[in-house]
Amino acid sequence: MKIGIVGAGAIGGYFAAQLVEAGYEVVVLARGKNRDVLKSDGLTLTSEKGVLNVKFAAVSDDPAELGICNVVLFTVKGQSTDQAAEDMRPMIGPKTEIISLQNGLYGIERLAAKYDEGQLSPGITYIPAVVEAPGQVLRTGSLTRTVFGPLHPRDMAIHDELAAALQKQGTDAIALKEPMKEIWTKYVVLAPFHVIGCLTRLPVGGWIGTEEMQDLFFRAMKEICALGRAKGADVPDTIAEKQVHFVKTTANPKTKASMLEDLERGKPLELESIVGWVCRESKKLGLESPIHDMAYALLLAHKDGHP
């Protein structure tokens, strides 16, 4: 099976390494310094298990050179979705499975506007990882839970095969017939977690300790729950209640939102795809999202990053 990686950053790099180790032919669409390093030296993944270096069957900035794949793993940042979705067209055949592990719902909606929905598989991953340098990925925690499955019910042979292969490599991968409920469940936490982290400039342990912040977190999550229900998803407010308790009692206090890490490094933010999407969709459906509206406005000046 030939697997293409579109978005060879921290998450894409992690899965690329795991899939090479599982014995698949892996090709990578990459540009600039990252392309050069991946082509010459391969990818180095560092984790609590040690250091793993893998080489790819091909690395190129020309998708036509990589050719049609059986599976494409789509892991670009939200702000790169539209361009990357167009760039990868030469890698997509009529039977290519497109598995998206992007944050939020924006990406899968944009892919659905460009490709046959019968080829799309949304997913989520909780793997904490960062790019330390071109071609070097550091996994910063032990959590590896990853879920994916077809956008609409259909044969899951390829999903089951990939999940089993990743499990053998130590990744907690699960193929689900209906993955959208779990994707919404993550999104309920994701958007509020990002905006509060960015606005406080603190890891979770720095802001979850007061009743005022717990209430703000809860109300922000309820905005997402209401949006999910308006869009036909099963997203009860009890998810928000459980997540406040989990973050307060169980989450690693040093955990930072990835958007905060990008903000601190002066990088472009996934603001439109994670937060702006909530504001726009809520307004379209006649809902109010005051916390996300305020956060979006305050962070807008940082959307494109700073040198």
Domain edges within the chain = 2-178, 181-302
Cα gap 91→3, rounded to integer Å: 10
Instruction: Give the pTM.
Output: 0.92
Level-2 CATH architecture, domain 181-302: Orthogonal Bundle (1.10)
CA 116 to chain centre: 21
Whole-Å CA distances, 247 to 169, 215, 227:
28, 13, 22
Tokens 């993955």, located at residue: 179
- Per DSSP, 300 falls in state G
pLDDT score for 307: 55
Over residues 3-22, the pLDDT tens digits come to 999 999 999 999 999 999 99
- Please determine whether the domains at 2-178 and 181-302 fall in the same fold group of CATH: no
Strand 120-125 relative to strand 43-47, pairing: unpaired
pLDDT score for 304: 94
Over residues 60-97, the pLDDT tens digits come to 999 999 999 999 999 999 999 999 999 999 999 999 99
pLDDT score for 71: 98
Cα gap 16→5, rounded to integer Å: 7
Write the CATH number of the domain with boundaries 2-178: 3.40.50.720
Provide the 10 A C-beta neighbour count for residue 236. Answer: 13
pLDDT score for 141: 81
User: For residues 200 and 208, is the Cβ–Cβ distance under 8 A?
Assistant: no
When pLDDT is cut at 50, 70 and 90, the band that residue 140 belongs to is confident
Does 160 score more than 70 pLDDT? yes
| Strand, coil or helix: 175 | strand
Please compute the mean of the pLDDT values over residues 113-130 and round it to a whole number: 95
